[in-house]
Amino acid sequence: MALIRRVFKFAFQDVGRNIGMSFMTVFILVLMLLSVNALWSVEILTGEAVHLVKDQINVSIYFTAEAKDDQVTEIQNYLKSFPEVVNLEISNSEAVLESFRERHKLNPEVLGALDELGGNPFGPTIVVKTREPGDYQKIITALDLPEYQNLIEAKSFDEHRDAINNIQNITNRLEKTVLGLSILFAVISFLVIFNTVRVAIQTQRVEIGIKRLVGASNWLIRGPYLIESILFTLLSLVITAIILYFGLHFVDPYLAVVFPSGFSLTNYYFSHILYIAGVQALAVLILTVLSSGLAMRKQLKV
């Protein structure tokens, strides 16, 4: 216990002696962690945006007014047989007419023309959703059968492929920028920690020599620098967590406008806190311990 107390004592003394370098080390580590979390957030938001767009994609199949219920049911069962189909919504001709009237309730000319027809010109409608956007073309092709030509009036495919491509292109550019910043800050962090430990060893060379002469163990000499690395890791993680907490609460109201599903980055981070914190803590610890270890290996040749 006495040895451990001494190691921690020397570690805190070293941090105090090099307070400027210690502050800079923690500052750079925080910038690196913020960059990594920004990259993480971009990935999360991209996935949510693509998922939102995909949910809006569907195929609408419009039947003629002469189509009978049993014929529509036959096509419905045919579509259900496809494993790609995840949902079918059927509207009968009366529901389609009511929906049309609701959409054009402020346009009396359209409603007047409809009334002049003296009946319901609309047939049933089936709205099909598939697992992936690429599956819709298969559904459209499958309906191009001769026996269905006189029953199906039109097929409408809301693809939104351009929207998905635009989201992916913007995200790729953002990811490359943020990834570059993360790598830059990681390299700077490595160099700063390396030099912090190197300067500390250089300034304490005489003291380290005396410790060697009186029989100090390697742990007593090297331990304080490893403890410093752990302190830098803990401080940077705590500061980053505080900044992220307030940052995510600031961003969430704006995300609520973009994502009507109620998606929240704060909730995502809290629900994955152990995984996110664990991965980042391990990465920073490896970085700090590795840079400190290399500095000690190079300098501790007393």
How much is the pLDDT for 132?
Answer: 76
State percent of the chain over pLDDT 70: 77
The model's confidence at residue 302, banded by pLDDT at 50, 70 and 90, is: very low
Tens-place pLDDT, residues 128-163:
888 777 777 788 888 888 877 788 887 776 655 666
Q: Cβ atoms within 10 A of the Cβ of 132, count?
A: 10
User: What's the pLDDT at 88?
Assistant: 85
Which of 94, 129, 159 represents a domain boundary (last residue)?
Answer: 159
Q: Which of 159, 178, 208 is the last residue of a domain?
A: 159
Q: What is the pLDDT of residues 11-36, one digit of tens each?
A: 666 666 667 777 777 888 888 888 88
254 and 236 in a single domain? The answer is: yes
- CA dist., res. 95 & res. 127, Å (int): 13
pLDDT of residue 242: 92
Q: What CA–CA distance (Å, rounded) separates 123 from 152?
A: 9
Instruction: Please report, for the domain that includes residue 155, its CATH number.
Output: 3.30.70.3040
Range of the domain at 268: 2-52+163-299
Q: Are residues 29 and 152 in the same domain?
A: no
Statement to judge: residues 116 and 148 lie in one domain: yes
Residue at which a domain ends, from 159, 186, 204: 159
Over residues 197-218, the pLDDT tens digits come to 666 666 655 555 555 555 555 5
Q: Enumerate the β-bridge partners of residue 157.
A: 59
Placement of tokens 């199906």 in the chain: 152
Statement to judge: residues 197 and 93 lie in one domain: no
Indicate whether 300 pLDDT > 60: no
Q: For residue 243, what pLDDT band results from cuts at 50, 70 and 90?
A: very high
Residue at 213: amino acid letter: L
pLDDT averaged over every residue in the chain? 76
Domain count, the chain: 2
pLDDT tens across 90-104, in order?
Answer: 888 888 778 877 887
**CA angle, 56 then 60 then 63, to 5°:** 165
Same domain, 283 and 174: yes
Per-residue pLDDT averaged across 208-230, rounded? 62
Over residues 117-135, the mean pLDDT reads 79
Question: What whole-number distance in Å separates Cα of residue 251 and Cα of residue 270?
Answer: 15
Kindly state whether residues 214 and 171 are assigned to the same domain.
Answer: yes
Q: Are residues 129 and 270 in the same domain?
A: no
Q: What is the pLDDT of residues 59-77, one digit of tens each?
A: 888 888 888 878 888 888 8
Specify whether 168 is located in the same domain as 267: yes
Burial class, 224, CB count within 10 angstroms (exposed 0-12 / middle 13-18 / buried 19+): buried
Contact criterion met (CB below 8 Å) for 228 and 21 = no
Span 255-293, pLDDT tens digits:
887 777 778 888 888 888 888 888 888 888 887 777 777
